[in-house]
Amino acid sequence: MNHTTIITSICLLGLLACGPKKATESAENEVNTTTTDTLKYEQETHLANLKQLTFGGDNAEAYWSSDGQKLVFQATRKEWEAACDQIFYMDTRDAIDPNKVPKLISTGEGRTTCSYFMPGDTTIIYASTHLAGADCPPTPERSVDGKYVWPIYAEFDIFVADLQGHIIKQLTNSPGYDAEATISPKGDKIVFTSTRSGDLELYTMNLDGSDVKQVTDGLGYDGGAFFSPDGTKLVFRASRPKTSEEVDTYKSLLAQNLVQPTEMELYVCNVDGSDLKKITDLGQANWAPFFHPSGEKIIFCSNHKSERGFPFNLYMINIDGSDLQQITFDTEFDSFPMFSPDGKKIAFASNRNNGDTRNTNLFVADWVE
């Protein structure tokens, strides 16, 4: 799901007051580029050597290469000629330069989302609307009949590009939404979300787009899926409308390529969809899950403690739903956590240290068990 949709629209509705109140913040043109732990909160004991990687705009969904050295991410920033989300990548070993423009991977046309390194780290998978037009697709109203909504752009299809930005292959071409693709650590499968069945369901396919198989079939939005470290399981976020009114609302919004994301919980299943288990029952929005390197825990984003829709912070829970722990303690927004393949680092997006702006930036830290 497009991160600017998530972050900016919540800001516009007043559900997420973008702009932290930390003493370490500075004005946007004098941003704090420190690599010390002044960027983290005292309670964040699982993080060390927190480093800020971007300095302005909306940056999110940063995912590691298999060698743990590079990150691919999506960003909206006029200085980078990205009027809406485009795909960039960076080498985390490079010196921090707030004025450096990362390498553009996407075409620069349409809107993109959900990029991920393919096996070998020489190609990137991502979703894009560019075949439907060079302009950014229109952004719908953030509220429909008083309900906060996300757009589900039917023009999204999934592509593979090299690191120079040349598209090598188009993997999907069915009508409707195809996006949110991630790769198995085994290097054999892609999981993605599609509306090809008439609902937002999870599917798997081979790396070349063949052998498409439906994984989920419950009514509601199934998305944001990731494989377990051994490639045998999936974790994902899902809405599950139950009452007739909830079902009617969900179907009505989906017919308009919209979805209401304010009630989502986390589920785990085998790659074929069997042994499906709900692992959270916290209320409000629980999303952006990712497996801990052990395969026994899930890190995720949630606002379940929030009375007004914010803040969002990172939490961790066992895959059986036990031992919920709070990981970050930001006053506004932390999300999209991802462990490096060796489990030594974690990348995430945050509103911290943004100089009282609405900017969402990327951060990386050493992980402390």
Which tens digit of pLDDT belongs to each residue from 99-133? 899 999 999 999 999 999 999 999 999 999 999 99
Two tokens at 121? 């780290």
| pLDDT at residue 147 greater than cutoff 80 | no
Strands 277-278 and 286-291: unpaired
The pLDDT score that the predictor gives to residue 22 is: 37
Q: What is the pLDDT of residues 329-346, one digit of tens each?
A: 999 999 999 999 999 999
The pLDDT score that the predictor gives to residue 360 is: 97
Asked if 287 contacts 265 with a C-beta cutoff of 8 angstroms, the reply is: no
Measured between alpha carbons, how far is 277 from 150 in angstroms, rounded to an integer? 25
Q: Which DSSP helix (H) or strand (E) runs through 266?
A: strand 265-270
Q: Which residue carries 């390529």 as its tokens?
A: 257
Please give the C-alpha separations between residue 26 and each of 49, 333, 357, 361, in angstroms, as whole numbers: 19, 17, 10, 14
Give 1's pLDDT tier (boundaries 50, 70, 90). Answer: low
Please give the C-alpha separations between residue 334 and each of 19, 288, 301, 356, in angstroms, as whole numbers: 12, 10, 7, 15
The domain 3-20+55-326 belongs to what CATH superfamily? TolB, C-terminal domain (2.120.10.30)
Q: What is the pTM of this model?
A: 0.91
Please give the C-alpha separations between residue 27 and each of 31, 174, 286, in angstroms, as whole numbers: 6, 46, 31
Q: What is the CA radius of gyration of the chain?
A: 19
Q: What is the pLDDT of residues 267-317, one digit of tens each?
A: 999 999 999 999 999 999 999 999 999 999 999 999 999 987 889 999 999
The DSSP string of 131-184 is: GG-SSPPPPPPSEETTEE-EE--TT-EEEEEETTS-EEEE---SSS-EEEEEE-
Give 17's pLDDT tier (boundaries 50, 70, 90). Answer: very low
Give 12's pLDDT tier (boundaries 50, 70, 90). Answer: very low
Asked if 107 contacts 168 with a C-beta cutoff of 8 angstroms, the reply is: no
Measured between alpha carbons, how far is 346 from 334 in angstroms, rounded to an integer? 12
Measured between alpha carbons, how far is 322 from 70 in angstroms, rounded to an integer? 33
- The average pLDDT across 147-155 equals 91
Average pLDDT, the chain: 90
Give 11's pLDDT tier (boundaries 50, 70, 90). Answer: very low
Give 25's pLDDT tier (boundaries 50, 70, 90). Answer: very low
Give 221's pLDDT tier (boundaries 50, 70, 90). Answer: very high
Classify residue 165 as exposed, middle or buried by CB count within 10 Å of its CB (0-12, 13-18, 19+). Answer: middle
Strands 286-291 and 297-302: antiparallel
Measured between alpha carbons, how far is 28 from 7 in angstroms, rounded to an integer? 18
Q: What is the pLDDT of residues 45-85, one digit of tens each?
A: 999 999 999 999 999 999 999 999 999 999 999 999 999 99
